[in-house]
Structure 1
Amino acid sequence: MSPAEARLKEVPSDMSEAEWNQRINLAACYRLVALYGWDDLVDTHISARVPGPEHHFLINPYGLMFDEITASSLVKVDLNGNQLTKSDYSINPAGFTIHSAIHEVREDAICVLHLHTIDGTAVSSCTDGLLPLNQTAQFVTHDLAYHDYEGVALDHDERPRLQKDLGGKNHMLLRNHGTLTVGRSVASAFERMYHLERACAIQVRTRMLGPAAYPVEVDVIEKNEKLFSNPDRAELRSTQLVWPPLLRKLDRIDPGFRN
């Protein structure tokens, strides 16, 4: 057993091993978002369902930077916003609105990831949205929803509209606001966000080079959409191929997220 695997087994006495493992994965996701430069001071948020029937989920303590998040510092809440674990911090109320809306209706949305990156927000603010201009964008555009901006998400009345707009999709552009992905695991939500953010960045740079992009044939786009639309294959890739080396990267840099 590696040192990282040994730490993974150090489960606090007041929680299940399944919850502790989920906390480690979510804390890792926060650290990776910071590492890739996608964070926004103490704002934006990532949540993950705690295994079990209660629909409790974990979210960041509002006031910590993403590179400070640890497994034990994450706050557990219910769908009414009640904090179920002790913390010196509250939770972001806008974050609760968005994440509770999705966790409430999507059993498969184990993790919900929302960002305010420069390129993601720029593309979300464009009339055309994200276009299938390249291979990376075609990972996303067949599975992409849009939600119109209604102001800072403090009004719980917005939740039904957010739920309806997301539907069964796993990527979303929040108009004039940012990006959002969901996944059956923290791993798949993160990989989807990686592709969504990269596609937005590529589109911004492509548009900077001139008004027109080299065309992609419709049958090629459809071929890629079919290839990328298998959710089981996507989940397996994320959890087995992509996530383990990302955790190893974090362990080399700073394994403190596991605390």
Structure 2
Amino acid sequence: MATAALRNSTVSPAEWEARQQLAACYRVFDMLGWSEMIYNHITLKIPGEDGAFLINPFGLHFSEVTASSLVKIDIDGNKLDQNPYPVNLAGFTQHALFHKHLPDAHCIMHTHTTAGMAVSAVEGGLQPTNFYACNFIGQIAYHDFEGVTVRSEEGERLIEHLGDKRVMLLRNHGILVMGRTLPEAFIKHWSLQRACEIQVATASMGTPILIPDDVVKVHQRDLGKVSLPGGAGKADFEAMVRLVDKRDTSWRQ
């Protein structure tokens, strides 16, 4: 779909901004090595449009996603634009569920990174063995693997296991994070990915030193003291987008 045709149709300024932000995020994920062939998903609600969200076109690599190629769908999986690409059922089933039932799940990210899948596949999951892991101790939900996520009945269990948390390790499967904004979800994913990478590296060296609960609590209490203005992840995400732009700006189209 031509960019001009899309922008001259019924796309609102808010939708176009959301499209560009999400397309940039796909390129950032690819730059960081988090692509998985043509699979995995990042979805983003469109401000002001109840039940409408954007998802990647099934068939494109993360490095190929552009603002105009993103597919606009509703909670029931119906396309709301003329995009010729299909939507991966495995992505729609899971993401639509959370977008429907969780008002604060504005952005949802799911990946199959090596470190994320490895930590999700060991007894005990993420352990308090490093700086980044301490960000999440007590804040991660777990859901047992039931096969590829294409059956709607699994949704009830996903919601139940998530509870009031917005970070989940899908056992034997990978990372799932949600945010009130895309940058917030991004910084959660980046931090959890780093935590998993370091845990995997530490496990290869011997018995890890576990950080005590009282220290974890102090760490989580004080994290806000090192945050920049503008909301969680905003400065981090903008820095990554600048790096992407040095390589390729086609995502903006």
TM-score by length of 2: 0.92
Task: List per-residue Cα deviations over 1:50-109 (Å, max 9, x = no partner).
Answer: 112421110010000000000000001111111111122100101001101110111111
**Which residue identity is paired with 2:60?**
L
Q: Give 1:169's aligned residue.
A: 165
Distance of 2:99 and 2:228 partners within structure 1: 23
The equivalent position to 2:212 in structure 1, one of 214, 217, 228, is: 217
1:248 offset after TM fit, Å? 1.4
Distance of 2:14 and 2:188 partners within structure 1: 23
More helix by share: 1
Distance of 1:80 and 1:48 partners within structure 2: 15
Q: Give 1:4's aligned residue.
A: none
- How many residues in Structure 1 have an aligned counterpart in Structure 2? 248
1:246 partnered with 2:240 = yes
Query: Quick one: structure 1 residues 126 and 12, their matched pair in 2 at CA, closer, same or farther if it must change by over 3 Å?
Result: farther
**Alpha-carbon RMSD:** 2.0
Distance of 1:17 and 1:174 partners within structure 2: 35
1:95 partnered with 2:91 = yes
Where does structure 1 lack aligned partners over 5 or more consecutive residues?
A: 1-6
Task: List per-residue Cα deviations over 1:15-41 (Å, max 9, x = no partner).
Answer: 111111111111011111111111110
1:171 offset after TM fit, Å? 1.2
1:258 partnered with 2:227 = no
Task: List per-residue Cα deviations over 1:203-256 (Å, max 9, x = no partner).
Answer: 00100001x1123232211111223489x98971312x2122222112211111
**Which residue identity is paired with 2:115?**
D
1:59 partnered with 2:50 = no
Q: Give 1:207's aligned residue.
A: 203
SS in 2 for 1:128: coil
1:168 offset after TM fit, Å? 2.2
| Aligned 8 A contact 2:183 2:232 in 1 | no
| Aligned 8 A contact 2:130 2:211 in 1 | yes
Q: Give 1:79's aligned residue.
A: 75
Where does structure 2 lack aligned partners over 5 or more consecutive residues?
A: none
**Any residues of structure 2 matched to 1:182-193 within 5 Å, and which?**
182-193=178-189
Query: Quick one: structure 1 residues 11 and 83, their matched pair in 2 at CA, closer, same or farther if it must change by over 3 Å?
Result: closer
| Aligned 8 A contact 1:188 1:235 in 2 | no
Q: Give the share of equivalent positions with the same residue, in percent.
A: 41
